[in-house]
Structure 1
Amino acid sequence: MTLKKSVRNLLVVVAIVLTLVVVIQWRAGAREAQANAAYPAQGRIIDVDGVPVHVLTQGSGPDLVLIHGASGNLRDFTIDFADRLSDRYRVIMFDRPGLGWSGRPSDTKGAWNGASETPLEQAALLQGAADAIGVESPVVLGHSFGGAVALGWALNRPEETAALVMVSAVSNPWPGKLGWYYTVNGTSWGGALVVPPIVAFAPQSAVNSSIESIFEPQPAPEGYATDVGAELTLRRATLRANTQQVNQLRPHIVDMSKRYADLTLPTEIVHGDADTIVPLEIHSDPLSRQLPAAALTILPGIGHMPHHVAADAVIEAIDRAAARAGLR
């Protein structure tokens, strides 16, 4: 092969790669624009040291903070759950950093970024927004990954947090490794090179399958993907934030768990014994012994989403926590 032909072939390959990159980025951008238009912010955007934090409030009464899990946003609580509480609480819902309509600190932004916000840092950012709207001595509920952030909230401000409600919450180190989705996309190169094609081409069937797996063994509510705005997670910056936070969570949990004994506030723990995503025996069972004032409620046959499929039990736990804290 002559040098001239080799150069020509190389140029053809470069042209094909560049074309593919342009198509992927264009399609990803188009899908993001559609998601942004379909699911605008429902509440206020509060500036916390230059970082936008999306917060939605409804109702009146003692303050109740709700913190969503991985791959989610505050819409997860607006489908029905918050409405059932707003007659007796001021319900305060946040988008966690990088998800929904909340931004990220400058040191964790960018396509090639490999860093993420710790649960303590996420809690501090949400607490800054809470301060701006006058939140005082709240009951703080965290679901799944949001449970780690709720624990971070209490560790940051143990004297200013009335009670905790942990729902299918991540709280303790787990054995083994996460799947490729997180270990690849949670890296700097994965976030830059693998995330855009996923955003550009992920079919709705994959989204629906993921949602069904999250709810198992219960079925997902009809229309859940639309109601929660699942397309908001399929944005490049959001997907990077989500996978980086999950991929880097375990060592932070190890460090935080050493301080659990210091948290003496009333804590209600609710967990289904059929949860295979955040298993009861790894997380909530030991947590119930690590926290001095914890009460564990086990839901037989319930999976990872009890605030949807067993909402009465979660609401009762919130009321118990508020009563134990002297708020009811």
Structure 2
Amino acid sequence: MLIPLGMVAVFALGLAGWSAYAGRRAEELVPPEGQFAEVPGARLHYVDLVPEAAKGPPIVMIHGLMGQLRNFSHSLAGRLAEDHRVILVDRPGWGHSAIEGPRPGIAAQAAMIGALIEQLGLEKPLVVGHSMGGAVALALGLDRPELVRGLALIAPLTQVIDTVPKVFAGLTAPAALGPLLAWTVVVPAGLKTGAATAAAVFAPDPVPADFATAGGGALAIRPKAYLAGSFEVRAAPAEMARLVARYGEITLPVAILYGRDDAVLDPEVNGARTAQAISGATLTLIAGGHMLPVTRPAETESWLRGLLSGS
């Protein structure tokens, strides 16, 4: 039996309305908590943690795919902010940051974060990048090395990968279908499968009970997040190929931290291979999965403090 087009349209409008409501609800659960900065192409939401007596260089932290700045503030940033100025930033198009004009890729996002570093007057921060944020950190180090003290990459994307990680396979739909999917089926599907998706990203570590709010996880189930993630997954191979070709240019200190059991990105491909390609780069492996800033904060803090003390 054929379903009348009018009924299809009404159903689609209902899904779009529900998706908009769910997105607003997620933003109520995880509201903006910092400040906003206007940079070319974006309005960036960031949190600036300034201790009474900062003893060392500032730290800028860049989150990964489907994430936002609370991925760092959940467990890690407060430890470092006891004696370092720590800036957490929602990447352009993620969290509560907005974009103006074309959606920015890895290199364009790096330029925007570089502009934020300049605007805040940060003197050569250590740039910490997690997952896709690691790729953005690498682009920043390549294009604006004068702004950066060094790169600390946690479970980073650093190479061209042939297959999108299974947990993110839903982001690979054709670009033309993206808006339709984002405003109809993505949010209901995300609400149904969100717990299983989070478990797959965190594996083998457990997902904290409060990750949806304290870790910002709720913001991943929004049309905005799907569209940003779908764009980045499709754009990443070409952008990563351009970065990989330039690794020989990097003269900044680069350190990579990976969980041995990372189920999202391969530590051998994105860790060992990259450490060999960048002069002086180091690779440290610890127990754990992909979400080390959340699940292994003590070990991650210790690793970062080791880098800071040697800077």
Shared fold per TM-score greater than 0.5: yes
Q: 2 CA distance for matches of 1:54 and 1:264?
A: 30
Residue 36 (structure 1) aligned to one of 27, 30, 36? 27
The structure-2 alpha-carbon separation of the partners of 1:276 and 1:123, relative to structure 1 and needing over 3 Å to count, comes to: same
- Measured in 1, the distance between the counterparts of 2:35 and 2:190 equals 31
Deviation at residue 194 of structure 1 after TM alignment: 1.4
Q: Is the 1:31–1:199 contact (alpha carbons within 8 Å) kept by the matching residues of 2?
A: no
Q: 1:61-90 deviations in whole A, cap 9, x for unaligned?
A: 321011111111001111121110001211
Partner of 1:246: 233
Q: In the alignment, which residue of structure 2 is the partner of 1:114? A: none
How many angstroms apart in 1 are the aligned matches of 2:187 and 2:28?
17
The alpha carbon displacement at 1:45 in A equals: 1.1
Shift of 1:50: 5.2
Alignment of 1:154-303 (within 5 A): 154-177=141-164, 180-184=169-173, 187-202=174-189, 204-300=191-287, 302-303=288-289
Asked if 2 retains the 8 angstrom alpha-carbon contact of 1:167 and 1:271, the reply is yes
* CA apart distance, 1:178: 5.4
Change in 2 beyond 3 A, CA 1:215/1:192: same
Contact 1:268 1:318 in 2 (8 A): no
Is contact 2:106-2:135 (8 Å) kept?
A: yes
> Distance between the aligned counterparts of 2:34 and 2:163, measured in 1?
39
Residues 93, 99 of structure 2: 8 Å contact kept: yes
Name the structure 2 match of 1:3: none
* TM-superposed deviation, 1:159: 2.5
1:177 positional shift: 4.8
Contact between 2:41 and 2:112, CA under 8 Å: does it hold in 1?
no
Q: Secondary structure at the match of 2:305?
A: helix
Q: Residue 278 of structure 1 aligns to a residue in which SS?
A: coil
Structure 2, gaps ≥5 residues long? none
Asked if 1:89 is matched to 2:89, the reply is: no
Is residue 51 from structure 1 mapped to residue 42 from structure 2 by the alignment?
yes
Equivalent residue, structure 2, for 1:21: 12
* Aligned mate of 1:69, from 64, 68, 85: 64
Deviation at 1:316, TM superposition (A): 2.1
Query: Residue deviations 1:283-325, cap 9 Å, x none?
Result: 111111111121111114x211122222222212222222332
Q: Secondary structure at the match of 1:124?
A: helix
Question: 8 Å contact 2:182–2:227 — kept in the other structure?
Answer: yes
CA contact (8 A) 1:76 1:228 kept: yes
Deviation at 1:276?
2.1
Return the alpha-carbon distance in structure 2 between the equivalents of residues 151 and 274 of structure 1.
23
Amino acid at match of 1:183: T
Cα-to-partner distance string for 1:249-288 (whole Å, 9 max, x where unaligned) = 0111111011112112112211112112111011111111
Structure 2 vs 1, CA of residues 231 and 222 (structure 1 numbering), >3 Å: closer, same or farther?
Answer: closer
Q: CA RMSD in A?
A: 1.9
Aligned counterpart, 1:311: 297
Equivalent-residue separation in structure 2 for 1:33 and 1:176 (angstroms)? 33
CA gap of 1:178–1:247, structure 2 versus 1, over 3 A, is farther
Q: Residue type matched to 2:306 in 1?
A: R
**Counterpart of 1:48 in structure 2: which amino acid?**
V
Residue 17 of structure 1: CA displacement? 1.8
Larger Rg: 1
- Structure 2 residue matching 1:194: 3-state secondary structure: helix
